């Protein structure tokens, strides 16, 4: 899997290019975020709380997704505090419409179940939302806000 890091970085960059806008493609960012991503992927690949799934293509990866499980504070809506996160489901344009994202998501959902995640969160693009809804995802009741320091 370490050999896949350059391809994982390439696919993640495609995800941001597809999304566009100032948030996903800021005009000026110091340093090369791709280098930072490669370093984090190398460190996280061995973690039991991270699952990286890929679909091989003819030359490189056709698709990938990353899943993480974090242990948050339990509450009435999350009794065990284990929350799954789907990060960066992306398929290379040459391999789209072949069911790769659906297959990866089903495998990730199985892994989240095995990890005891009581909830799985994700951010969906307009293109990806129908797939996630078909897999049982619904609108989150908490409004999401963010702030950059």
Which residue range is the domain that position 18 belongs to? 2-134
Please report whether residue 115 resides in a domain.
yes
In a domain, 29, yes or no: yes
**Exposure of 117 by Cβ count < 10 A (0-12 exposed, 13-18 middle, 19+ buried)?**
buried
| Global confidence as pTM | 0.86
**Angle at CA of residue 58, ends 33 and 91, nearest 5°:** 45
Is the residue at 9 inside a domain?
yes
Specify if 117 maps to a domain.
yes
Q: Domain with 86 in it: what CATH number?
A: 3.40.630.30
Mean pLDDT of the chain: 89
Do 78 and 87 touch, CB atoms closer than 8 A? no
| 28 occurs within a structural domain | yes
The number of distinct structural domains making up the chain is: 1
pLDDT in tens, 57-86: 998 999 999 999 999 999 988 899 999 999
Q: Which one has a higher pLDDT value, 27 or 91?
A: 91
Shortest CA distance to 128 belongs to which of 63, 84, 34? Answer: 63
């Amino acid at each position: 899997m370490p050999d896949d890091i350059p391809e994982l970085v390439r696919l993640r960059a495609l995800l941001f290019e597809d999304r566009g806008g100032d948030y996903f493609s800021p005009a000026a960012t110091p340093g090369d975020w791709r280098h930072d991503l490669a370093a984090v992927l190398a460190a996280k690949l061995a973690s039991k709380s991270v699952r990286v799934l890929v679909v091989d293509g003819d030359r490189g990866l056709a698709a990938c997704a990353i899943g993480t499980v974090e242990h948050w504070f339990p509450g009435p809506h999350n009794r065990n505090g284990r929350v799954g996160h789907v990060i960066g489901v992306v398929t290379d344009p040459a391999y789209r419409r072949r069911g790769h994202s659906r297959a990866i998501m089903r495998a990730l959902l199985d892994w989240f179940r095995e990890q005891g995640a009581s909830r799985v969160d994700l951010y969906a693009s307009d293109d990806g939302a129908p797939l996630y809804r078909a897999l049982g995802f619904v609108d989150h009741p908490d409004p999401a806000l963010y702030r950059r320091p």
